[in-house]
């Protein structure tokens, strides 16, 4: 969602801030701005629209200051206007602030500040924060030099209800930034003679790989040569400096037209990374180092509960199918956004799992905390080391998929599917899966990267199919068992990046309502794997064909599909049942991508969407 970049050092801040904002464009935003400290004043430039528009304005004004803050905004309070863009200046001109999150009690604070003579020029909750900091700053006359802004921010946050990641500068402190977080990610990049703040590592990895991940309730005060961390309650914190393991090249296009395209083709490597070092020496089961539960603990579990949002929720549905199918353990899947509000009864020996690529999804984090609050162990499948969910979970599994820049998840999703399949294997081998079946299962998993490469080799043909259907206004995606979640994911991908209405259904449910949509302008994408349900799926396809519906069939190689039944056929390799959802996902990713390109959509920055949803 919204992005923050701050810089204090010896170089001109403006170009560093703009570069950082450009690297955060994938998060989703509608306006951008910078505030620079220079010559005894704070200069602000902000524009609705893309960072490119802001960059031209910044270049025109020749900012020379060496400290500043910047922001990309995804509108919550107030429309998409220059006035509502961040940074916001306090009405006395002393404080500039950027903010991610939502201040829930901003109206009562605003009423108080209006009574004190403070003025407002925007519709945002963020401007309220800036004026409240200014209010406390004006009263901090007895504070020792160097801590006046810090203490003003600290006192402000004690009055705030909601979530925030903020960075503030003051006209009286030309080489100082104070930042804080609660429920919205923020990290500090530690450099030589400079420090950088960012809401995402992508914005600072080009300058340093040494980072400190701020925790909820922490504030950081930075200057070019130093930083200190404390809590809202004035307790000092000893920082832990971590290292980012990936390089800036991993977050660049490297010759691809879009990040989504790049990340689709990175999936074989991402799958290999997810498996590396995670199989037993005898090749019959999976091993995970970070679950923090023993085999005995896992044998005591009588139910698993999975929670996530969006694409991650689809991964949970696949996990449900595979774990119940192979490990014979009951699984429930919940929307993370609903879990904490519906007070669902859980079995005493249940284990809670969340799935989040970013590790910062606010709804998923809230679900994890609710499970822990009720006394349950809560584990996570996560891609981002140092993220809030990774830190707060009781254990978990890192995906090691590398940075995912495209808003529409691709390699992170198939990585989640693979880890879910490995988890199903691990649990199954603790119960009644035989050694020989375990070996067969592992061999199937190890084949996944090469199987995906074979599907990717069909990209030119899938592109041709996409161009023939790019102007359709509706799609149906239909699958059964473990491929029903892939039908949901295929529909979501198409909606996200091409703005075509699409629905995913179990194939057998098609005749219970969705068949009313069938026409020559509403194609149906069928998953048709070889197996016991093959003939039943073919029967559903024939019902579509009888009503003149177009069919795109994703079919296992070697299947005896009736001639002429499908208008388009995409073949996928025959594979182990646990790998099938991964292999079947790739064609619909490519189909959605090429349809969006044909429609000239902004694939990496689809309208209204954000990569990581950090507000409720």
Residue 14: pLDDT band by 50, 70, 90 thresholds? very high
Residue 613: pLDDT band by 50, 70, 90 thresholds? low
Task: Name 191's Cβ contacts closer than 8 Å, sequence gap at least 6.
Answer: 9, 207, 208, 210
Which residue, among 346, 421, 404, has the nearest Cα to 378 in the 3D structure?
346
User: φ and ψ at 214, to 5 degrees?
Assistant: -70, 145
For residue 1, pLDDT over 70 is answered with no
pLDDT per residue as tens digits for the range 103-144: 999 999 999 999 999 999 998 989 999 999 999 999 877 666
Are 223 and 345 within one domain? no
Classify residue 515 by its DSSP letter.
Answer: G
Are 572 and 597 within one domain? yes
User: SS3 for 450-481, per residue?
Assistant: HHHHHHHCCHHHHHHHHHHHCCCCEEEEEECH
Q: What is the pLDDT of residue 612?
A: 56
Domain-located, residue 614: no
Are 233 and 269 within one domain? no
CATH value at residue 555: 3.40.50.10490
Helix (H) or strand (E) holding 32: strand 31-38
**Last residue in a domain, options 250, 276, 309:** 250
- Structure tokens of 85? 């863009």
Q: What is the pLDDT of residue 80?
A: 83
pLDDT per residue as tens digits for the range 270-322: 999 999 999 999 999 999 989 999 999 998 898 999 999 999 999 999 999 99
How many H helices and E strands in the chain?
19, 25
CATH value at residue 125: 3.60.20.10
**Distance from C-alpha of 197 to C-alpha of 167, rounded to nearest angstrom:** 8
Q: What is the pLDDT of residue 144?
A: 67
pLDDT per residue as tens digits for the range 544-575: 887 888 999 999 998 888 888 889 999 999 99
How many Cβ atoms sit within 10 Å of the Cβ of residue 292? 13
Does residue 56 have an active-site annotation?
Answer: no
Average pLDDT over residues 423-451: 96
Are 124 and 138 within one domain? yes
For residue 505, pLDDT over 70 is answered with yes
Handedness of CA 528, 606, 596, 267 (dihedral sign): negative
Domain-located, residue 81: yes
Q: What is the pLDDT of residue 436?
A: 96
Residue 407: pLDDT band by 50, 70, 90 thresholds? confident
Domain that holds residue 539: 460-604
Average pLDDT over residues 396-410: 90
Average pLDDT over residues 578-590: 97
For residue 615, pLDDT over 70 is answered with no
Are 146 and 267 within one domain? no
Q: For 193, left (φ over 0), alpha (ψ -120 to 50), or beta? A: left
Quick one: what percent of the chain has pLDDT higher than 70?
Answer: 97
Which residue, among 166, 199, 162, has the nearest Cα to 388 in the 3D structure?
199
Mean pLDDT value across the chain: 90
Average pLDDT over residues 493-503: 93
Q: Which of 110, 493, 550, 611 is catalytic?
A: 611
Domain-located, residue 502: yes
Concatenating the DSSP letter of every residue in 1-29 gives --EEEEEESSS-HHHHHHHHHHHTGGG--
Are 220 and 89 within one domain? yes
User: φ and ψ at 357, to 5 degrees?
Assistant: -60, -55
Are 261 and 228 within one domain? no
Are 282 and 158 within one domain? no
> Which of 113-117, 164-168, 246-250, 498-502 is predicted least confidently?
246-250
Strand pairing report for 210-213 and 195-198: unpaired
- Structure tokens of 581? 């959802």
pLDDT per residue as tens digits for the range 335-346: 999 988 888 788
- C-alpha torsion angle, residues 477, 478, 482, 486 (rounded to 10): 0
Are 117 and 33 within one domain? yes
Domain-located, residue 613: no
Are 97 and 239 within one domain? yes
Domain-located, residue 610: no
- Structure tokens of 39? 């010559």
Q: Which of 2, 170, 316, 382 is catalytic?
A: 2
Residue 244: pLDDT band by 50, 70, 90 thresholds? confident
Domain-located, residue 596: yes
Average pLDDT over residues 481-501: 95
Average pLDDT over residues 248-270: 89
pLDDT per residue as tens digits for the range 201-242: 888 888 998 999 998 999 999 999 999 999 999 999 998 898
Does residue 522 have an active-site annotation?
Answer: no
Are 203 and 311 within one domain? no
**Last residue in a domain, options 250, 284, 312:** 250
- Give the total number of structural domains in the chain: 3
Q: What is the pLDDT of residue 614?
A: 53
Which residue, among 522, 523, 491, 521, has the nearest Cα to 589 in the 3D structure?
491
Are 467 and 423 within one domain? no
Q: What is the pLDDT of residue 83?
A: 87
Quick one: what percent of the chain has pLDDT higher than 90?
Answer: 65
Tell me the β-bridge partners of 187.
198, 213
Task: Name 92's Cβ contacts closer than 8 Å, sequence gap at least 6.
Answer: 118, 134, 138
**Last residue in a domain, options 183, 215, 250:** 250
- The better pLDDT of the pair 80, 478 is held by 478
């Amino acid at each position: 969602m919204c992005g923050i970049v701050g810089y204090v050092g010896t170089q001109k801040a403006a170009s560093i801030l703009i570069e950082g904002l450009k690297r955060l464009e994938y998060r989703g935003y509608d306006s951008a701005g910078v505030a620079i400290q220079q010559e005894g004043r704070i200069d602000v430039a902000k524009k609705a629209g893309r960072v490119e528009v802001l960059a031209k304005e910044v270049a025109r004004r020749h900012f020379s200051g060496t400290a500043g803050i910047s922001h990309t905004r995804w509108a919550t309070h107030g429309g998409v206007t220059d006035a509502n863009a961040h940074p916001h200046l306090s009405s006395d001109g002393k404080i500039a602030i950027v903010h991610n999150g939502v201040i829930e009690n901003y109206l009562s604070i605003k009423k108080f500040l209006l009574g004190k003579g403070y003025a407002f020029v925007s519709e945002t909750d963020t401007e309220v924060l800036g004026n409240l900091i200014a209010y406390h700053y004006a009263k901090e006359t007895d504070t020792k030099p160097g801590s006046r802004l810090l203490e003003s921010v600290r006192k402000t946050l004690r009055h705030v209800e909601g979530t925030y990641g903020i960075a503030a500068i003051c006209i009286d402190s030309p080489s100082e930034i104070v930042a804080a977080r609660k429920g919205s990610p923020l990290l500090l990049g530690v450099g030589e003679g400079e420090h950088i703040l960012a809401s995402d590592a992508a914005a600072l990895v080009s300058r340093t790989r040494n980072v400190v991940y701020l925790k909820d309730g922490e504030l950081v005060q930075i200057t070019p040569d130093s930083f200190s961390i404390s809590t809202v309650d004035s307790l000092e914190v000893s920082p832990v400096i971590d290292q980012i393991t990936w390089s800036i090249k991993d977050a660049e296009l490297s010759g691809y037209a879009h990040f989504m395209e790049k990340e689709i083709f990175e999936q074989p490597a991402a799958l290999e990374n997810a498996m590396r070092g995670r199989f037993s020496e005898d090749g019959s089961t999976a091993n995970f180092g970070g679950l923090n539960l023993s085999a005995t603990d896992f044998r005591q579990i009588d139910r698993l509960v999975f929670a996530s949002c969006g694409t991650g929720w689809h991964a949970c549905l696949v996990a449900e199918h595979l774990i119940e199918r192979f490990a014979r353990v009951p699984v429930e899947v919940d929307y993370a956004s609903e879990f904490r509000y519906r007070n669902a009864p859980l079995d005493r020996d249940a284990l809670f799992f969340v799935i989040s690529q970013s590790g910062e999804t606010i709804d998923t984090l809230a679900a994890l905390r609710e499970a822990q609050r009720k006394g349950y162990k809560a584990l996570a499948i996560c891609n981002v080391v140092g993220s809030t969910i990774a830190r707060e979970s009781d254990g978990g599994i890192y995906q090691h998929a590398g940075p995912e820049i495209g808003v529409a998840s691709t390699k992170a999703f198939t990585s989640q599917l693979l880890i879910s399949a490995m988890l199903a294997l691990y649990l199954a081998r603790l119960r009644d899966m035989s050694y020989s079946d375990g070996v067969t299962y592992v061999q199937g998993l190890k084949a996944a990267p090469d199987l995906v490469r074979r599907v990717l080799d069909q990209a030119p043909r899938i592109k041709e199919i996409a161009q023939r259907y790019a102007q359709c206004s509706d799609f149906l995606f239909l699958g059964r068992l473990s491929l029903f979640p892939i039908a949901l994911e295929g529909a979501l991908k198409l909606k996200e990046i091409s703005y075509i209405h699409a629905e995913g259904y179990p194939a057998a449910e098609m005749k219970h309502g969705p068949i009313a949509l069938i026409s020559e302008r509403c194609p149906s994408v069928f998953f048709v794997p070889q197996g016991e349900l093959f003939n039943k799926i073919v029967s559903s396809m024939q019902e579509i064909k009888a009503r003149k519906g177009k069919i795109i069939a994703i079919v296992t190689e070697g299947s005896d599909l009736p001639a002429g039944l499908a208008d388009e056929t995409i073949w996928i390799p025959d594979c182990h049942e646990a790998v099938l959802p991964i292999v079947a996902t790739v064609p619909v990713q490519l189909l959605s991508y090429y349809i969006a390109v044909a429609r000239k959509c902004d694939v990496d920055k689809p309208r209204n969407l954000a990569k990581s949803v950090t507000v409720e």
